[in-house]
Amino acid sequence: MSSERGEFGSRLGFVLAAAGSTIGLGNIWRFPYVAGEGGGGAFLVLYLAMVFTLGLSIMLAEIAIGRAAKRNPVGAFRTLKGGAWTGLGYLGVLAAFVILSFYSVIGGWTLAYVLATLGPLLEATDARAFGDHFRDFTAGPVEPVLYHGLFMLLSAGVVMGGVRAGIERWSKLLMPLLLIMLVALCLRALTLPGAWAGVEFFLIPDWQRFDAATVGAAMSQAFFSMSLGMGCLLTYGSYLSSAERLPGIAVTVSALDTTIAMLAGLLILPATFAFGFDPASGPGLSFVTLPAVFAEMPLGRVFAPLFFALLAIAALTSNVSLLETAVAYLVDEKGTGRRAATAIAAGLGFAIGVPSALAFGPFADATLFGKTFFGLMEYLATNLLMPIGGIGIAVFAGWVVRDRIRREVLGDGADRPAARIWGWILRWLAPAAVAWILISGL
Ligand code: TRP
């Protein structure tokens, strides 16, 4: 094993780093608007069901594969089985670059919004001004690329520090800060007049909305939010000491990720209702609606930059995990030094991301299958690469190297009911359900 490999210093360090990976734009930016589009409560019920069946099971399998092999995704599948299964590792590294490229673009937007909300943006009196600002900013062409670059540079700085000094130390500091800021913002939103309608929308299911589209949206969101299907948590698992018991860790990480999503829902949807906006207004919900909401809030000028800083921090630790997946591959398989590997991976992720950063301006009309470059990258990742990776991981852990993974997760312990349910989900439910999503998403 390369001496460049690190190990997490403690169980808490791993849990916080994994939580840092799973908690990101997926929770705070994507979850509230997808829940808004999915009708609120109905989406929430399906989402929670997905998280604690498929999501948790695949997460446990993925961390176990990483720790069993103590390798990056490519090395892990090669060491444990090899042959065609190694391809699943390459698919993961490919997915890491694809997600990294467009994720960093949105991460860059959050940095830009910290500055914009510190500036005169919130002095606007007409809500349309916030939509205009968003469109003007994202149309670029210079700023979105610069902020994308800045965001990637920050991520590279964290990754270069290595596992213990970089990822673990940052996560320990930033994740609790994130939680505190989110709770404070949530309390502010819930005490706005009219906020209760948003709470009811979010928590009380409308039974008419239980349809295939909502099931599919809930499953994709669970995968994206839990960082599943491309070897991200596999890579983090490879840095985890063999002494730690995995099931409790996977439950903790899933619960933290879900808690943050719930808090984000309870922040954004009630605020949206209190100010009479449309919860189904799509990806613009954070970047267009929230500044408008903050502008009308007492102390909004303080809370808005705080919120976007929070979003940037959460996005940074997720981007770091994507970058780390690619870096681990280069360090383990190619023998590259950690610093050089980070520079190469971040540079490549930046380059692939540039057309995505320009997809809301100069390249807006350059479409394929009706999608911009950004849209294509997102589609490729969430509708193809992640579901294929998810099935692969479930089948690999449930069938191909079953005994090795069972030992990794359960030790020599007795075959408890929870273990049997886990096995059943991996072997039967996950492949069937994820294949269904894959096909219906085409
Ligand atoms: N889960 C992160 C979020 O919610 C994004 C992310 C990080 C991710 N690593 C991933 C998504 C791996 C899919 C796969 O923002």
Mutate to test the pocket of ligand 1, among 30, 50, 232 (most ligand atoms within 8 A of CB): 232
Task: Count the helix, strand and coil residues of the chain and give each as a percent rounded to the nearest 5.
Answer: 80, 0, 20
Q: Which of 317, 172, 181 is nearest to 260 (CA)?
A: 181
Q: What local confidence, expressed as pLDDT, does residue 2 receive?
A: 42
Cα torsion through 162, 178, 254, 437, rounded to 10: -90
Greater confidence, 397 or 291?
Answer: 397
Three-state DSSP state, 344:
helix
Q: What local confidence, expressed as pLDDT, does residue 65 receive?
A: 96
Q: What is the DSSP string of 362-415?
A: TTTT--BTTB-HHHHHHHIIIIIIHHHHHHHHHHIIIIITHHHHHHHHHTT---
Q: What local confidence, expressed as pLDDT, does residue 1 receive?
A: 40
User: Hey, whose CA ends up nearest to atom 14 of ligand 1?
Assistant: 227
- C-alpha distances in angstroms, 388 versus 26, 131, 393, 425, 437? 19, 36, 9, 16, 10
Atom of ligand 1 nearest to the CA of 21: 7
Ligand 1: lining residues by beta carbon, under 6 Å: 21-22, 24-27, 99, 224-225, 227, 230, 232, 318, 321-322, 386
| Distance of CA 226 from the midpoint of ligand 1 (Å) | 6
Query: pLDDT digit string (tens) for 167-190?
Result: 667 667 777 777 887 888 888 888
Residues 6+ apart with CB under 8 A from 190: 199, 266, 270
| Distance of CA 242 from the midpoint of ligand 1 (Å) | 25
Report the amino acid identity of residue 434.
V
User: Hey, whose CA ends up nearest to atom 7 of ligand 1?
Assistant: 318
Q: What local confidence, expressed as pLDDT, does residue 171 receive?
A: 66
User: Hey, whose CA ends up nearest to atom 6 of ligand 1?
Assistant: 227
Three-state DSSP state, 141:
coil
Mutate to test the pocket of ligand 1, among 23, 286, 318 (most ligand atoms within 8 A of CB): 318
The model's confidence at residue 284, banded by pLDDT at 50, 70 and 90, is confident
| Distance of CA 95 from the midpoint of ligand 1 (Å) | 11
Mutate to test the pocket of ligand 1, among 322, 325, 379, 384 (most ligand atoms within 8 A of CB): 322
User: Hey, whose CA ends up nearest to atom 10 of ligand 1?
Assistant: 227
Global pTM?
0.92
346 near 152, Cβ under 8 Å? yes
Residues 6+ apart with CB under 8 A from 57: 394, 422, 425, 426, 430
| Distance of CA 297 from the midpoint of ligand 1 (Å) | 31
> Is 163's pLDDT higher than 70?
no
User: Hey, whose CA ends up nearest to atom 9 of ligand 1?
Assistant: 227
> Is 114's pLDDT higher than 80?
yes
Greater confidence, 84 or 212?
Answer: 84
CA angle (302, 304, 305) in 5-degree steps:
80
Q: Rounded to the nearest 5°, which phi and psi values hold at 363?
A: -100, 15
Mutate to test the pocket of ligand 1, among 29, 225, 313 (most ligand atoms within 8 A of CB): 225
Greater confidence, 128 or 83?
Answer: 83
Three-state DSSP state, 412:
coil
Q: What local confidence, expressed as pLDDT, does residue 3 receive?
A: 44
> Is 4's pLDDT higher than 60?
no
Average pLDDT over residues 301-311: 84
Beta bridge partners of 371: 368
Atom of ligand 1 nearest to the CA of 27: 4
Greater confidence, 338 or 277?
Answer: 338
Q: pLDDT exceeding 70 applies to what percent of the chain? A: 94
Atom of ligand 1 nearest to the CA of 318: 7
Query: pLDDT digit string (tens) for 44-74?
Result: 999 999 999 999 999 999 999 999 999 899 9
Token couple for 6 = 């690190």
Mutate to test the pocket of ligand 1, among 227, 286, 311 (most ligand atoms within 8 A of CB): 227
Query: pLDDT digit string (tens) for 212-271?
Result: 888 888 888 999 999 999 999 999 999 888 888 899 999 999 999 999 999 999 988 998
| Distance of CA 268 from the midpoint of ligand 1 (Å) | 20
| Distance of CA 400 from the midpoint of ligand 1 (Å) | 26
Q: Which of 34, 88, 4, 43 is nearest to 386 (CA)?
A: 88
Average pLDDT value over all residues in the chain: 88
